[in-house]
Amino acid sequence: MNAILLIVVQFLYYLPLNDGVSALLHGSYDEDETKTIGKIAPEFSLEDLQGSTLDLSDLRGNYVVIHIATTWCPFCNAEAPYLEELSQQYTDKNVRVLIIDVKEPRDLVQSKLQDRFNFSFPVLLDLDGSVAARYAPSDVLPDLARDEVMLASNLLIDPEGKIQFLSLLDSKNFDAKLINLKKRLDELLGKE
């Protein structure tokens, strides 16, 4: 009897851990991801192309624009010049731009992204796709791997670390010129 009781208690004890494992595997980071906007962005710590580590928390106090990319993604390549333009336009407005490249080796990203587009902002390497996966809302393309869902998407995180824009939720068509993201950024900057 005691043994059965112990198993039941342990089962209940491990349920939250079970959810945690599920979140790790399926990339969810919040119970209600349909409400991504306004939620705290998941923390990450990634290396850039020079091998320096950048933590999202290092950028707290800034607006952070993140583009999730791969070298072979035509949408990402089309957007690249506009990201650089945005970075230069907004750099004195407390805005930092990052690219997170998903599941590609450093040398490839260096030659096909950095050398080609000469970004003035960091390109980070999400070698196993786990960071991209953690940003994927569970209700968007639920039958796909979570890291895949975020490819070619843009995020805007405010100085408090809250997600204020996710292109997957707001766009019907790809927005290479980042018009919608800039609009949201200008709204937020205008409130300050």
> What DSSP element (H or E) covers 115?
helix 115-117
> What DSSP element (H or E) covers 67?
strand 63-69
Regarding 130 and contact with other proteins (CB under 8 A), the answer is no
Q: Kindly write out the interface string for residues 170-189 of this chain, putting x where it contacts other proteins by CB under 8 A and - elsewhere.
A: -xxxxxxx------------
Residue among 113 and 124 whose Cβ is closer to other proteins: 113
Regarding 73 and contact with other proteins (CB under 8 A), the answer is yes
**Tally of CB atoms within 10 A around 68:** 28
Q: Which residues touch 42 (CB under 8 Å, ≥6 apart)?
A: 29, 56, 131, 134, 135
Specify the stretch interacting with other proteins by CB under 8 A; choose among 3-11, 37-45, 57-65, 130-138. Answer: 3-11
Regarding 159 and contact with other proteins (CB under 8 A), the answer is no
Residue among 62 and 171 whose Cβ is closer to other proteins: 171
Regarding 88 and contact with other proteins (CB under 8 A), the answer is no
Specify the stretch interacting with other proteins by CB under 8 A; choose among 17-25, 33-41, 58-66, 118-126. Answer: 17-25
Answer yes or no: are the C-beta atoms of 102 and 126 closer than 8 Å.
yes
* Amino acid letter, residue 161: G
